Chain A
Amino acid sequence: MESHILTLMTFIPLLGAFFILFVPKGKDNVVKIIAAVFTFIPVILAVKLFFAFDRTLPGVTDFGTFQFIEKYPWIKAFNIEYFMGVDGISVPMVLLTALLSFLAVVGSWNIDKQVKGYFALFLLLETGMMGVFCALDFFLFYVFWEVMLLPMYFLIGIWGGPRREYAAIKFFLYTLLGSVLMLLVILALYFNTTDPETGRHTFNMLHYMNQSTHNAWLRQFDIRVILFIALFIGFAIKVPIFPFHTWLPDAHVEAPTAISVILAGVLLKMGTYGILRISYPIFPDVTRWFAIPLAILGVINILYGALCAMAQSDLKKLVAYSSISHMGYVCLGMAAMTPAGINGAVFQMFNHGTITAMLFFLVGVVYDRAHHREIDGFGGLGAVVPVYTAFVSLAFFASLGLPGLSGFISEALVFIGSFPVFQTMVIIATAGIVFTAAYHLWALQRIFLGPVNPKYVDLPEINAREIFCLTPLAIIVMILGVYPMPVLKMINTSLLHLIDFVKNTLV
């Protein structure tokens, strides 16, 4: 099937960034419109992808059933290929990236400092993110993975909050540390596998997943464990999994609103996506060995994130810690390797993307008006800004897992799927649900209920542009809450293939 949809989705934003560089100074609106157009085209393509994607083909380890494949030699001397393709694991992430990027551009409309730089970097960031979810050549994947760091550093560092410089460099150093370890693993894999057809070393991930291409060195279990752990650290820093999470509260809190949205909505998913796409099928034996530690880390994330969130007085920090907690569910579901568990995990990745994006947008809305985010500094806003209150309530209820909204379904699937495997841990983790409900409701109560804070009687209501950003997300959250099949159908075939492969290879 000859199609360039993935290349277009990846590089159209970059083209937009290129055009932005040539906009004369002072024409800020032109820049914004270009950015909006060049992030909207991928959304149209994403819709096309959603309908054209064949839900019966598994992909994962099987070249023949990947879709929208593009495969060209890039550097022949090193056997690097431009190899893109999607399956059920990557498609939801691609859709999420396209949607959130567009909404984040709209959400950034009020940026007035160095507008050109901001949107050019943002578009570059989208290219990196798309590329990560589409690349099937490990070298290509790594290039996209790292390309994201540069714009992220500047976006946090220039347009962020008061401690932006510290947060930006911390984010950069942490993620670079993780990714250089990944680079070594990539090179070790490269020299110890061969393409079965040509006999050359290869960066093709799918060849790595065929364990018969591994040489004797790579077949030693302790070597595999070391490589797996090094790779895992790289991904865990991105998720972030405890104890690699300390960059996250800083980065999320200091980043401008739209960048927090992207960080939480897309970047965190790259960690768990990487584990599923790369670690699981390349090292199925180590994956099984690592299931219990991963589940333990997941439970720690759930509880630790929730408890930290409860202790926060800054609303944005609360949301940041809630992300740590929610990504814990993903890890738990992945570790279980049951159909329900893993479907729940990937569905949770998608849902967390939409829900947290809403939360960060909403935090941004109130911060723009009140210029602070102290949870205790408000009170009674429900009577002042009813529409805003409605959106926040919806997002909070979705985030705490209220039945009828999308978060509930994925968390329920995770628990159902992992209970048979890790009973004690799941029982402990359910305490997380209580904490989650507690901090959400408590924050809701302090901000919106009670007597109106006289300082904010004139707080302006949420405006049309902000509603425009939130509505698509709200609709998705509500629809998937009652009818999750559009996403579950998309991911199920691939995930069943993945767990079947992980459980039955190198036994």
Chain B
Amino acid sequence: MLDNVQSVKFFLPELILTGAILVLIVYHVVTGKKKSLFAGYLTVVSVGAAMLIAGGIGSGGARDLFFGMVRIDEFSTFFKVIFSLATIFAAFMSIASSEVNGRRQTEYYVFLLSVTLGMYLLASATDLVMVYLSLELVSIPSYLLAGYLKRADDSVEGAVKYVVYGATASGIMIYGFSLLYGLTGTTSVAEIGRIVASGVSPLTLTVAFILVGVGFGYKIAAVPFHMWSPDVYEGAPTPVTAFLSVGPKAAGFAVLIRFFYAVFAQRVEGGQWALFEGVDWVTVFAVLSAVTMTVGNLVAIVQRNVKRLLAYSSIAHAGYMLMGFVLLNVEGLRAILFYLVVYLFMNTGAFLVVVLIANQIGSEDIEDYSGMGIRSPFLSVCMGIFLFALTGIPPFSGFIGKVYLFAGVIHSGLYWLAVIGVLNSVVSLYYYARILKVMFLEKPKSEEELPVGIYAKAFLAVLAFPTLLLGIYWEPIIRAAEASARLLGG
């Protein structure tokens, strides 16, 4: 365990992000409301630098910083890379989006960087106080980002809903934290785990589990705590939606895994975790997983707005990933980590296409996508790649992600969950294919070609290429995921 001074040099990535936030605030004050891309590019550069340094620090083994407030290990590093890429993609997407462009941009990027900093901390937090603080650091700027289009009613509506739900969930969660503190007399997650393992009142522990579970369940938008997400996702500027559905969701999984696996389970031999008597949260989450994916997919079928459809689809994907969470072994964790990587590319890609089309036709309704296959073949083919990857059809990366999830589930003998999972894949094909049907199979409303800039095309290619490549060769990523999962709590 390192003290405050020793810790600083390992805290460099977070310091870089903080520095960038401060610079932007000053910049905003100095330049006023002038339009400039500086903020966007500074975001990209600082997050990129933070990611590289975090990668370097993370490979040096596990370290507890600031008297055990945060823990730098391969697990958090893996997540930090995902967060950073999500932020960078979101920044580029915002630069390309006509929704965000041309407004008070500097503030926007300050919020974006703040969320990123929060996610960095959340993935490595090992203390109740730190968990709570970083969760709020993720949430509060997210509310602001969601309501960024303050002249649009749905943006404001989404943001208000987000705040109300978020505040309630935080309150419930921190009540759970207080029970845990009361039970054990410490705020250190590892310490709590140790004391819980030696035996505490099962009833209090169950109540604490339920309260904390609600808070985290809200963060990853698991059913029944998902009600906020379609409205927020639909109302927010599309780059923000893409970001929220990947970054904070991944952060939710990071803290869910780190917290639950340390507090409510015990590490045993062979890359497994064991439950304590009294709290069978695995079954609870297995059912939640099945319900989440089923509800997400079924409701997605009837959506007419692409953004809203993708919002429900991202609920369903959280359900898929929860399958890996309930397995209590390295295999399940590795599957989640791998899935998050492929999900980052395919989901961001799908949203990027939505942004580029909305830039031109000003609509996100599926109907208005008719004939895109002819109007812009490149955009449409990329959309096809992303949507088929989201469905989980080979040779795209989403398929491999699902294979690992299902493999873990089958290996652990939860056959019912595997069957529900694959049937959900079939259901999801129906609505993903509906978008493609409109794009490729229906006659265009106008024959006019849709101009797509060269940078937009390059950006799309950057997202589409890994989506395809990771479906054909994914060995390095799965090995990295495996290593990160294996070292968790080790």
Contact between B441 and A172 (Cβ–Cβ < 8 Å)? no
Chain A at the B interface: mostly helix, strand, loop or mixed?
A: helix
B395 within 8 Å of A by Cβ?
yes
Closest Cβ of chain A to B342, distance in Å, is 14
A475 within 8 Å of B by Cβ?
no
Closest Cβ of chain A to B443, distance in Å, is 11
Closest Cβ of chain A to B374, distance in Å, is 7
A181 with B422: in contact, given A157-B437, A164-B441, A172-B433 (CB under 8 Å)?
yes
Contact between B406 and A154 (Cβ–Cβ < 8 Å)? no
Of chain B, the residue at the smallest CB distance from A159 is B441
A150 with B388: in contact, given A142-B394, A169-B433, A184-B410 (CB under 8 Å)?
yes
Contact between B437 and A184 (Cβ–Cβ < 8 Å)? no
Closest Cβ of chain A to B429, distance in Å, is 6
Total CB contacts across the A-B interface at under 8 A: 79
Contact between A143 and B394 (Cβ–Cβ < 8 Å)? yes
Closest Cβ of chain B to A198, distance in Å, is 17
A77 with B478: in contact, given A176-B425, A191-B407 (CB under 8 Å)?
yes
Residues of B contacting A169 with CB < 8 Å? 430, 433-434, 437
B445 within 8 Å of A by Cβ?
no
Per-residue CB contact flags for chain B residues 420-448 toward chain A (1 = under 8 Å, else 0) read 00110110011001100100111000000
A23 within 8 Å of B by Cβ?
no
A75 with B410: in contact, given A143-B395, A149-B393 (CB under 8 Å)?
no
Contact between A77 and B430 (Cβ–Cβ < 8 Å)? no
Contact between B410 and A177 (Cβ–Cβ < 8 Å)? no
A76 with B422: in contact, given A114-B374, A153-B433, A173-B430 (CB under 8 Å)?
no
Chain B at the A interface: mostly helix, strand, loop or mixed?
A: helix
For B418, give its contact among A157, A165, A176, A184 (CB under 8 Å): A184
For B423, give its contact among A76, A150, A153, A180 (CB under 8 Å): A180
A180 with B426: in contact, given A77-B478, A172-B433 (CB under 8 Å)?
yes
Per-residue CB contact flags for chain A residues 79-102 toward chain B (1 = under 8 Å, else 0) read 000000000000000000000000
For B399, give its contact among A78, A146, A158 (CB under 8 Å): A146
Considering the chains assembled together, what is the distance between the CA atoms of A296 and B388 in angstroms?
37
Contact between A165 and B441 (Cβ–Cβ < 8 Å)? yes
A363 within 8 Å of B by Cβ?
no
Residues of B contacting A44 with CB < 8 Å? none
Considering the chains assembled together, what is the distance between the CA atoms of A478 and B434 in angstroms?
45
Total residues of chain A contacting the partner, CB 8 A? 33
Closest Cβ of chain A to B375, distance in Å, is 13
Max chain A Cβ within 10 angstroms of own Cβ: one of B406, B415, B437 = B437
Max chain B Cβ within 10 angstroms of own Cβ: one of A153, A172, A180 = A180
A147 with B474: in contact, given A158-B441, A184-B422, A188-B410 (CB under 8 Å)?
no
Considering the chains assembled together, what is the distance between the CA atoms of A172 and B429 in angstroms?
9
Residues of B contacting A173 with CB < 8 Å? 426, 429-430
Closest Cβ of chain A to B395, distance in Å, is 6
Total residues of chain B contacting the partner, CB 8 A? 34
B160 within 8 Å of A by Cβ?
no
A8 within 8 Å of B by Cβ?
no
Residues of B contacting A158 with CB < 8 Å? 373, 440-441
Residues of B contacting A154 with CB < 8 Å? 440
Contact between A76 and B437 (Cβ–Cβ < 8 Å)? no
B419 within 8 Å of A by Cβ?
yes
Residues of A contacting B429 with CB < 8 Å? 172-173, 176
Contact between B407 and A190 (Cβ–Cβ < 8 Å)? yes
A384 within 8 Å of B by Cβ?
no
Considering the chains assembled together, what is the distance between the CA atoms of A173 and B419 in angstroms?
16
A187 within 8 Å of B by Cβ?
yes
Per-residue CB contact flags for chain B residues 472-490 toward chain A (1 = under 8 Å, else 0) read 0111001100100000000
B403 within 8 Å of A by Cβ?
yes
A183 within 8 Å of B by Cβ?
yes
Residues of A contacting B440 with CB < 8 Å? 154, 157-158
A168 within 8 Å of B by Cβ?
yes
Residues of A contacting B388 with CB < 8 Å? 150
Per-residue CB contact flags for chain A residues 160-174 toward chain B (1 = under 8 Å, else 0) read 000011001100110
Closest Cβ of chain B to A139, distance in Å, is 8
Closest Cβ of chain A to B473, distance in Å, is 7
Closest Cβ of chain A to B151, distance in Å, is 38
Contact between A184 and B406 (Cβ–Cβ < 8 Å)? yes
In the complex, besides A142-B394, A153-B433, 9 extra interface pairs with C-beta distance below 8 angstroms are A143-B395, A154-B440, A157-B437, A158-B373, A164-B441, A172-B433, A176-B429, A184-B419, A190-B407
